[in-house]
Structure 1
Amino acid sequence: MKRTKLKIAIASAAVVAVAATGTAFAMSGPSAGSDSTQPRIGRSTQKTPGVIKADGANVFPHSLDFDAQSKTFFAGSLKHGKVFAVGPDGTVRTHIDDPQLVSAQAVLVDRERDRILVSNVDYGTAGRSKKDKPFHVAGVGSYDLKSGKQRWCVDLTAVALDGERHLISDVTVAPDGTVYAVDELTPTVFRIDRRGRASVLLRNDLLKGTLDIPDFLNDVGMSAVQWVKGNQLIIAMADGSLVRVPVQSPEDAQKVKLDKPLGAPTAGMRLLKDGSIAAVSSGLLSGRPADIQRVEPRDGWKEATVKVTDTVKDAVTSDVTAGPGTTTYALSGGLADLLAGKPNDGFALTPVETG
C-alpha cells in the first residue's frame, strides 16, 4: 500500500465534490479563514420538507444511527472524536466525549443493551490526530446509551499485532451481543464479546482491498458490515462486491453472487425489515450523485439482486439509517470540506426510497 498523501488527497476530494454539486458542501458556513471547531447548539431552519439540516458546525460525520425510542439520531464526528445527538428538528448536542476517541467513524445504537458502539479511527485530520502517523489508531468503544459514559474501549491494533495501518470502517452486533468490526485497510474481521474482549475472527485474502482513491488511499477494502439471518455477516467491499461470512465457520467465507455490482465506492448499509439491505454508494470517484441501492438476497445470501432505488445530490454521501416511522435517511456529512481543511456549518440527512 502506498503512503498516504493527505495534502494531494485534499485537493483531489475537493475537486470531485465541487464537480458533483457545483459548489462546496458547506451551504452557508463561515469563511475559509474561520477557526470555528465546535458545533453550534440550536434549532436549524428546515428549507426542504423532510430534509433534516443539522446545525452541527464542523462535526463532519461519516456514520450515524437512529434510536426510535428517544427519536434521536446519533452521529459520529471525524473532526472531534465525539458522538453527537441530533433531534428531528436539526438540534445538535454532544452526547459522547471520550478522550480515547480520536475520530468517531462507525456509530451503532444497540437499544437491547442500552449502548452505543463507536469505531475509533485516525485519518490525520482530527484535533486529537497524530498528523504524521495516520491510520495507526483502530478500536471500538461501548458507551451507555443514556449517559454517554464509556463502558469499555478496546484497542484492536494490539489484537492484530501486524504493524499495519488500520481503519475500522464499520461495526455490527449479533443477537447475543457479540460485536463484529471490519478493517478497511487489512483483510481482518474482529470479534468483540460483551465485556470488550477482542479477538480476530477472520483474516482472508478474499477481503483484501482493490479500490484505489487517487492520491489518498490505495487498496481500500471492507467498507460496511451487517449481521443477517443465518448467523452470517454480509460485508460490503469498497469495489462494489459483497462477501458472506458464516460466523460459526468463517473459513467458509464466499463472495455473494450479484446480478450486478453495487456502485463503487460502497459506503454504508442498513438492514431492512424484510431481510434485504439498503446500501449507499458514494459519488466520490465519479462526481455523480450518490446511489441508494436495494440488495435482495436469494438462497441464504449466496446470491442477490441489486437495484438503484434513489439518488442523493451530494456526491459524498456516506451512510444510510432508519428514521422515524418507516423512513430511511442518507447522511451527507460534508467530508469533502474536512479533507480540504475547510469549515462547514452542519450536515444533512435526506429521506430516501429503499423499495
Structure 2
Amino acid sequence: MKTSIYKSLLTSSLITLAGMAHAEEDVAFWDDASKSVSVPAEALYPEGIELHPKTGEFLLGSIRKGKVIALSEDGSVRTIVEDERLRSVVGIRVDEARNRLLVNSSDYGVAERSEPSDKFATMALGVYDLDTGEPVLFVNLAGLRPDEAHFANDLAVDDAGNAYITDSLAAAIYKVTPAGQASVFLTHEDFRGSGFNLNGIQVHPDGYLLVAKKSDGSLFKVPLDRPAEFSRVATPKPLVGTDGLLLVDADTLVVITNLASGVESNTVFSLSTSDDWGSANIEGQFETGDVYPTTGTIKDGKVFVNYGRLNTLGATLENNGALLEGFTIQEVGQLKQ
C-alpha cells in the first residue's frame, strides 16, 4: 500500500529549559509545524521503532499483530518478521554488526495470539536475520524468575552482541548472549513500583547501561562489569512515564514519556550530562499531546518518535470498538550540527 507519507501537523509547543549546552550533536526540537509519517497499517499498534541500517526503512514492532513491519520512504509497508511464537512485539533492536534484529515478545492480553493463561506470564527474545526475517534464536525468558509476573519491555545490545532486556514487572534486567544463553543480569527492589517499572534501556559506549523506571521517572546507571554497583542519575525532576530512551551521543539522551502513576506527561525531553551521567540537566522538551509516544529513532539527522496510541487498545477490545486503521511517526527535531 502507498500513501504520501509527509504532511504538516499543527504547531507543537516548545519549551526551552535551562541546561548544559553542547558544541555538537545535541537535539534542537522544532518550534514550528513539523513533519509526520502517516502509516496506513490497520490495527498495528506499534511500540518499538528502529531504523534499518541498509534500506533506510523504519522498523516497527506490533503490540496487536505480533510482527515487525518495515516502512519505506515511498509509503510502502512490508512485513519483515512473522513468527507464530510471538505474542505482542514490544521492544526491537537492530544488531548491525551481526546482521540481526532482536525482538521482545510479551503477553498482556491484547495481541491476536494472546492466551488468557499466559497473561504477564510468558515472554521471550526472538532473534532474526535482518535481511530475510528468518529466525536465528528464540529464547524463553520467563523461567529466569519463575515466581514473578513478567513483561519483557525494551532491550539494548552491547558491542559483543549481548542483549540486555528490561522486565517491567519482575524488577529485573536479563542478559542473553549471542549464542542464546540467558541469565539474570541484575535484580533489585529499587526496580519495583506501581504498574510498569523498568522500561527504556541503552548501552553507553563507556561500558554501562542507562535504564529508565517508568512508574516514578528514575534513571539508573548500571556498570556492565559491576551491575550491583548501579546508581541513580540525578535529574532536576522525575521524568514520570518514561518509556523509550535514545542515546544521541555520549552526553545526550532523548527521553520519551507518556503516562504512568496518574501523570500524563506525553513529552519528549533532551537530557545532557557533564559528569558521565552522575547527573543530568534538561535542555529542551517537545510536547506531543495525547498520542502515547513510546520510542524513537534517528534518520538523516532528525529525531522521529512513534505515536502508537497504545493507551486506547485495551478499552477498544473490551468494548468491541473499531481498531485504529493507522498510526503516526512524528518528526520532533534534529541533531545540531
TM-score range, shorter chain: 0.7 to 0.9
Task: Give SS of 1:124's match.
Answer: coil
Which of the residues 202, 227, 237 maps onto 1:260?
A: 237
The alpha-carbon deviation at position 249 of structure 1 amounts to 0.6
Q: How does 1:159-308 map to 2 (within 5 A)?
A: 159-160=144-145, 162-208=146-192, 210-211=193-194, 218=195, 220-238=196-214, 239-262=216-239, 264-283=240-259, 290-308=266-284
CA distance in 1, matches of 2:225, 2:88: 32
| CA shift for structure 1 position 181 | 0.5
Query: C-alpha distance in 2, partners of 1:154/1:142?
Result: 8
**In structure 2, C-alpha distance between the alignment counterparts of 1:154 and 1:109, rounded to whole Å:** 17
1:206 Cα shift? 2.0
- Structure 1, unpaired ranges of 5+: 1-40, 212-217
Matches of 1:351 and 1:112, distance apart in 2:
27
Cα 1:303/1:46, change in 2 over 3 Å = closer
- Distance in structure 2 (CA, Å) of the matches to 1:246 and 1:223: 17
| C-alpha distance in 1 between matches for 2:176 and 2:97 | 17
Are residue 130 (structure 1) and residue 127 (structure 2) matched? Answer: no
Q: Quick one: distance in 2 between partners of 1:275 and 1:287?
A: 27
Q: 2:126 matched to which residue of 1?
A: 141
| TM superposition shift of 1:255 | 1.1
AA at the equivalent of 2:131: K
Change (3 A) 1:284 1:236: closer
Question: Which residue number corresponds to residue 43 of structure 1?
Answer: 3
Q: Could you tell me which residue of structure 1 aligns to residue 301 of structure 2?
A: 326
The 3-state SS of whatever aligns with 1:51 is strand
Specify the code of the residue in structure 2 equivalent to 1:258: T
TM-superposed CA distance for 1:45, in Å, is 5.5
Counterparts of 1:124 and 1:354, CA distance in 2: 37
CA contact (8 A) 2:91 2:103 kept: yes
Identity of aligned residues (%): 26
Q: Structure 1 length normalisation: TM-score?
A: 0.81
Q: Which residue number corresponds to residue 84 of structure 2?
A: 99
Give me the whole-angstrom Cα distance separating, in 2, the residues matched to 1:287 and 1:345. 27
For the pair 1:78 / 2:24, whether they are aligned, the reply is: no
Q: Residue deviations 1:179-206, cap 9 Å, x none?
A: 1111000111111111111111111112
In structure 1, what is the Cα distance between the partners aligned to 2:334 and 2:251?
Answer: 12
Partner SS state of residue 71, structure 1: coil
Give the superposition deviation at 1:288: 5.4
Q: What residue identity is the alignment partner of 2:278?
A: K
Matches of 2:186 and 2:217, distance apart in 1 = 20
TM (norm. structure 2) is 0.85
- Following superposition, the deviation at residue 177 of structure 1 comes to 1.0
Is contact 1:44-1:54 (8 Å) kept? Answer: no
CA distance in 1, matches of 2:140, 2:39: 31
Greater per-residue strand proportion: 2
Give the partner amino acid of 1:302. Answer: G
In 1: Cα distance, 2:264 partner to 2:139 partner: 37
Asked if 1:52 is matched to 2:37, the reply is: yes
| 1:122-177 CA-partner distances (Å, limit 9, x unpaired) | 010111101354111111111110100110011101222x3211001100011111
Q: How many residues align?
A: 304
Q: Secondary structure at the match of 1:336?
A: helix
AA aligned opposite 2:201: V
- Relative to structure 1, is the Cα distance of residues 171 and 45 closer, same or farther in structure 2, using a 3 angstrom cutoff? closer
CA RMSD, 1 decimal: 1.9
Q: Please give the per-residue CA displacement for 1:293-332, whole angstroms capped at 9, x wherever unaligned.
A: 1121232211111243212134311111112x10110111
Determine whether 1:156 maps to 2:120: no
Q: Distance in 2 between matches of 1:67 and 1:84?
A: 11
Query: What is the match of residue 352 of structure 1?
Result: 332
Whole-angstrom CA distance in 1 between matches of 2:117 and 2:243:
26
Q: Which residue matches 2:30?
A: none
